[in-house]
Amino acid sequence: MLIGKKTDILSSEITPREVFESRRKFIKAAGFSLIAGASAISGVLPGTSHAAAQRHKIAAFGKTAYGKEEALTGYDDITTYNNFYEFGTDKGDPAVHSRLFKPAPWTVSIEGAVKKPRQISIEDIFKLAPLEERIYRMRCVEGWSMVIPWVGLPLSKLIQFAEPTASAKFVEFISLADPKTMPGVRVPILKWPYIEGLRMDEAMNPLTIMAVGLYGEVLPNQNGAPMRLVVPWKYGFKGGKSIVKIRFTEKMPVTTWMHSGPSEYGFYANVNPAVDHPRWSQATERRIGGGLFSPRIKTRMFNGYENEVGQMYAGLDLRKNF
Ligand SMILES: Nc1nc2c(c(=O)[nH]1)N[C@H]1C(S)=C(S)[C@@H](COP(=O)(O)O)O[C@H]1N2
Ligand SMILES: [Mo]
């Protein structure tokens, strides 16, 4: 993700490298010294990120028809090329700096416009509905994409459990912000805790899941253990990680990225090749894992999920509501 003022760089073929450098410059310019020691570890070797001892298979989950036609992104790419600013701003930081993070025990609190505020443990969330695999295309606003075999449950099942009242129009997802185990939180790169939000109908859409695993294993810390949001027709930043609080609201929440760069990151954040980011085109993307010289591919409206989600935005001006 990038934060900063609008510049005159307007290239339709800006490379991830350039995007990455531009973000680094912004953070340096803003005078933030990065997490002690973190900047020294910028290039992470694949395979060093995730100790085998931490990998656990999910005992039972259903296979579904979603995404069967897609070539999966490799496990090492999915778990070493991450955005999770609580663990640092470089793509390799989360895999390295989340090693001491403890995703258990874990409790999620449910509050706001609900019949009764309550708490639920991650173990009980696992039992709310049969877990299923969902192979989804994921696209980051930076212009790269992956195909990830998530394991999770429909978010609608968790919302049914939460029992929102009729006044609930939006849902807010609040990530953990623990300076002891998340070194990035000690630095004011973003306003902590990380907050994301959805409109109620988006949250209830059958494509929206709470992911608890990938590749048939519980989520690695760097991918948002023990539970993170996955909304495949929106830019990756909508998928808040390591969620500890779900709050139902009447008003549209101000999410972290809206707060950081209101002209660049809107509430909706639907993948839309026709609406450019103020500093680069959104018409194409690069699939991670295809090699540096792999051709960019065309980005599809709603990331290719238009049949499933398009009707929710009928009549909405998607240039204004970006
Ligand atoms: N709490 C939290 N959630 C987050 C982020 C973050 O920095 N903090 N980054 C977002 C962004 S920009 C992206 S692209 C995805 C990346 O998810 P992945 O690393 O599992 O691919 O997580 C999103 N969720
Ligand atoms: Mo992203």
For every residue of 49-94, DSSP letters joined together read SS-GGG--B-S--B--STTTTSPPPPHHHHHHS---GGG-SSTTHH
- Compute the residue count for the chain: 322
In angstroms, the CA 25 to CA 280 distance is: 16
Q: Domains in the chain and their CATH numbers?
A: 15-313 (3.90.420.10)
Do 135 and 271 touch, CB atoms closer than 8 A? no
pLDDT per position as a tens digit, 90-115: 999 999 999 999 999 999 999 999 99
pLDDT per position as a tens digit, 181-193: 999 999 999 999 9
- Best of 145, 185, 237 to mutate for ligand 1, by most ligand atoms within 8 A of CB? 237
Q: Tell the residue number behind the tokens 């909405």, with chain if given.
A: 316
Read off the tokens for 223: 């991918």
In angstroms, the CA 24 to CA 200 distance is: 35
- Cα of 280 vs centre of ligand 1, distance in Å, is 20
Q: Tell the residue number behind the tokens 């608890």, with chain if given.
A: 212
What CA–CA distances, in Å, run from 153 to 63, 125, 156, 273?
12, 9, 8, 29
Residue 201 has a CB neighbour count (10 Å cut-off) of 13
Which ligand sits nearest to residue 241's alpha carbon?
1
CA-proximal residue: ligand 1, atom 6 (nearest)? 84
Q: If residue 109 lies in a helix (H) or strand (E), which one and from where to where? A: strand 107-112
- Best of 75, 90, 241, 243 to mutate for ligand 1, by most ligand atoms within 8 A of CB? 241
| pTM summary value | 0.87
* pLDDT above 70 as % of the chain: 84
Confidence at residue 3, expressed as pLDDT on a 0 to 100 scale: 56
pLDDT per position as a tens digit, 125-136: 999 999 999 999
Which ligand sits nearest to residue 240's alpha carbon?
1
Mean pLDDT of 214-238: 98
Which ligand sits nearest to residue 191's alpha carbon?
1
Q: Residues enclosing ligand 1, CB less than 6 A?
A: 1, 82-86, 140, 175, 194, 223-224, 236-237, 239-242
Mean of the per-residue pLDDT values of the chain: 88
- Residue, of 309 and 17, whose pLDDT is higher: 309
Residue 106 has a CB neighbour count (10 Å cut-off) of 18
The strand pair at 144-154 and 297-298 is best described as unpaired
Q: If residue 146 lies in a helix (H) or strand (E), which one and from where to where? A: strand 144-154
Query: What is the phi/psi pair of residue 121, to 5°?
Result: -80, 160
Confidence at residue 28, expressed as pLDDT on a 0 to 100 scale: 40
- Best of 84, 190, 238 to mutate for ligand 1, by most ligand atoms within 8 A of CB? 84
